[in-house]
Structure 1
Amino acid sequence: MSGFAFRVADGAVHAVAVDDAPGATGDLVWVHLAANDREAHRWLCERAGLGDHIADTLTASETRPRCDPAPGDGVFINLRGLSDEARELSDPLASVRIYAREGRVVSVSRKRLNGVAVVCDAIAGGGIDDPGDLIAAIATAITNELDPAVADLGDSLDDCEERLEADNAFALRRRVNHVRIEAIGYRRFLYPQRSALEKLATIEVPWLAEDDRLHLGAAADRAARMAEELESIRERAALIHETLTDLRAEQIDQRSLIIAVVAMVFLPLTFLTGLLGMNVSGIPFAHRSWAFAGVVLVCAVLALAITAYFARRHWFRR
């Protein structure tokens, strides 16, 4: 079974084989399984002896952040965090499903969460002593990593706003759409994650100390702030997209106007040259030496007069 396990007893931390973890005792035994649902379900039932209800909850396909009491003094909590492994843009956060009770925590994830590695370093350094510390550390690590990611989305929109030009519309529109989709993906999980952390902080279980509840409340507040920031980013992205569309439409209108003016300038000239170019007799001054220069001069004067008329009407003004 892929994963790892730690045992904390009397302040000492020991790495334990995953298959030996069910029999380990101490202030905290943490087993983390990095496996697909079928493998994890079989191990939870056969090796850990947790029962079908707990195994089903830890391997459920629905991994929306939530928190529910478990039989006895246990708690189920699902959280979402960043992962280095490739994910869909609309679903950018990987899940971790956790069952905790006095002295024991079991977590399951399909993708490798970056926050879990941070917690492993903390527990190896002796900074985690019980299940309450561990759950608070996981929530804090996930939130700490998400905060700069959300800030980067806002910075990307700031850069797009500074470069708002019709000539950059296509590239900027693609970038804004990417930011908007990513913000929606984060926001989809941060609102329920805030609710899950707030609920966990209020559940009365003996292994959750007051400082753990404070840390969980702080993580919930940061999740709420990030969700609000993501909502602002989504609205700003929509406004930028509309502005780019308007700029592009204005640019097309301006170019269409110029084409129309040029056509209007040459329309009478085309008529004049077509009329004089007819192969019939009776065209005035056809045999004079200055006839060609005179026609060119008349065309130039006519073109300038039409152009001056449109200029006075402000057709060329943006």
Structure 2
Amino acid sequence: MQQSVSTATAASSPQDDAPLPGLVWAFRFGADGTARQVLGDVLAAPEPGGWCWLHFNLADTRAPQWLASADLPPRARDLLLSKDSYQQMHGSEDCIYGVVADLKRDIAEISDDTGYLRFVMTEKLLISGRHQALCAVDATRRALEHGLRIEGTAALFETIVDEIALALEKMVDSAEHELDHIEEKVLSDDTVDVRQGLGQVRRTCVRLHRHLSGLRIVLHRFERDSPADLKPGLRLRAGKLAQRLDGLDHSVVEMRERSRLLQEELHLQIEEQTSDSLRVLSVLTALLLPPTLVTGLFGMNVKGLPFTETDSGFLWAVLLLLLSSAAAFVVMKRIGLIR
């Protein structure tokens, strides 16, 4: 495989220092695990015991063309070049390939949108690709630039998954802090601008759970179904990685349940406030109904209306209005409408 890939590289790169088409970065690792970032024909003249990591931007149309000519297993190459968003991992004796979910990376921060990392891994080479900028692979690159040593391709993939888990943990901690703040406001009846924040937390929890559950199921399945004759350099500690994600997913599920209960509590408070407002409105309507009836009677243009010939007729009419409201109040008090 390595010889064929090198041949394809040489064919596509006439100059020794020319980067591969669509290549985002490349690292050459020594036998001691030290990494050196390179640009040109990275697969030519590898160090004894060394190996390489090539990371491609699959949105660049030149990258799929180069990868299509690489000597990779047909299924691995098809999955690497596809746009399948289904998380999966497959293995054979000398190759592991698949798709795992990662968080998209904005210019300055991590977003909660999901992107997908595609990879093909042998003992001497890890080829990865993405269509959008991702968080975990970029964090791994920075760690390598700061001197992190990696023993092999399996350890590099485990480092990438660890970075995915670390980014998710940061998002979980941030969402949990926001949820604690919302809970304090709900319990103190300060529900101004709480509904929007609570809805955002629930949305984040749903996305994180979907992300984590898919990834940990893939790792558990690979741990259970991985080939028994897998080469030593490709043996992943998938079970350990899955256990870490299990604990994180448990925290997300608990936080999602908390947010649901808080939303129910918030709805109850809103319903109580609405009920109180309707009660006040009903009482005011009932108190004003008798005076309205009285004013309606005095407004009829017919003969025989009382107080029409009396100088103090207006005062008597006002007194009658007040007495009618007082009578309505006493009646509602006795029947329990006013507490």
Aligned 8 A contact 2:95 2:234 in 1: no
Letter aligned with residue 282 of structure 2: A
Is 1:230 the counterpart of 2:256? The answer is no
Gaps of 5+ in 2: 1-21
Q: Which residue of 2 aligns with 1:107?
A: 128
Change (3 A) 1:45 1:10: same
* CA–CA distance in structure 1, aligned partners of residues 168 and 112 of structure 2: 14
Letter aligned with residue 103 of structure 2: L
Match of 2:233, SS state, is coil
Letter aligned with residue 109 of structure 1: R
* CA–CA distance in structure 1, aligned partners of residues 320 and 164 of structure 2: 78
Q: What aligned pairs does 1:36-51 form with structure 2 within 5 A after superposition?
A: 36=59, 39-46=62-69, 48-51=70-73
- Give per-residue Cα distances to partners, 1:62-94, cap 9 Å, x unaligned: 233222103x321113222222239xxx98221
* CA–CA distance in structure 2, aligned partners of residues 158 and 142 of structure 1: 24
Aligned 8 A contact 1:166 1:251 in 2: no
Aligned 8 A contact 2:79 2:98 in 1: no
Corresponding residue to 1:74 among 76, 95, 120: 95
Aligned 8 A contact 1:73 1:205 in 2: yes
Percent of pairs with identical residues: 26
* CA–CA distance in structure 2, aligned partners of residues 246 and 14 of structure 1: 60
Gaps of 5+ in 1: none
Q: Which residue of 1 aligns with 2:84?
A: 62
Corresponding residue to 1:161 among 183, 194, 206: 183
Aligned 8 A contact 1:82 1:142 in 2: yes
Q: Which residue of 2 aligns with 1:293?
A: 315
Corresponding residue to 1:252 among 247, 255, 274: 274
TM-score when scaled to structure 1?
0.83
Letter aligned with residue 141 of structure 1: E
Change (3 A) 1:40 1:51: farther
Q: What aligned pairs does 1:169-208 form with structure 2 within 5 A after superposition?
A: 171-201=193-223, 203=226, 204-208=230-234
Aligned 8 A contact 2:90 2:96 in 1: yes
Is 1:23 the counterpart of 2:50? The answer is no
Corresponding residue to 1:278 among 300, 313, 322: 300
Is 1:127 the counterpart of 2:153? The answer is no
* CA–CA distance in structure 2, aligned partners of residues 312 and 159 of structure 1: 44
- Give per-residue Cα distances to partners, 1:18-69, cap 9 Å, x unaligned: x6134352422111112228543321122x3325432112122223322210
* CA–CA distance in structure 1, aligned partners of residues 248 and 173 of structure 2: 9
* CA–CA distance in structure 2, aligned partners of residues 254 and 267 of structure 1: 20
Q: Which residue of 2 aligns with 1:141?
A: 163
Aligned 8 A contact 2:58 2:64 in 1: no
Change (3 A) 1:9 1:277: closer
- How far does residue 180 in structure 1 lie from its aligned partner after superposition? 2.2
* CA–CA distance in structure 1, aligned partners of residues 56 and 332 of structure 2: 75
- How far does residue 4 in structure 1 lie from its aligned partner after superposition? 1.1
- Give per-residue Cα distances to partners, 1:166-209, cap 9 Å, x unaligned: 8847x433333322223222222211211223345564431046
In terms of fraction of residues, the more helix-rich structure is: 1
Change (3 A) 1:123 1:223: same
Change (3 A) 1:24 1:306: farther
Q: Which residue of 1 aligns with 2:326?
A: 304
Change (3 A) 1:22 1:289: same
- How far does residue 308 in structure 1 lie from its aligned partner after superposition? 4.2
* CA–CA distance in structure 2, aligned partners of residues 140 and 276 of structure 1: 83
* CA–CA distance in structure 2, aligned partners of residues 115 and 195 of structure 1: 19
* CA–CA distance in structure 1, aligned partners of residues 265 and 338 of structure 2: 22
Match of 1:61, SS state, is coil
Letter aligned with residue 236 of structure 1: R
Q: Which residue of 1 aligns with 2:3?
A: none
Change (3 A) 1:24 1:231: farther
Q: Which residue of 2 aligns with 1:32?
A: 55
Match of 1:25, SS state, is coil
- Give per-residue Cα distances to partners, 1:118-142, cap 9 Å, x unaligned: 2123333142131122111111111
Aligned 8 A contact 1:75 1:100 in 2: yes
Aligned 8 A contact 2:104 2:112 in 1: no
Q: How many residues align?
A: 306
Greater mean alpha carbon deviation, residues 266-275 or residues 101-110 = 266-275
Match of 2:37, SS state, is strand
* CA–CA distance in structure 2, aligned partners of residues 163 and 312 of structure 1: 38
* CA–CA distance in structure 1, aligned partners of residues 338 and 183 of structure 2: 27
Match of 2:245, SS state, is helix
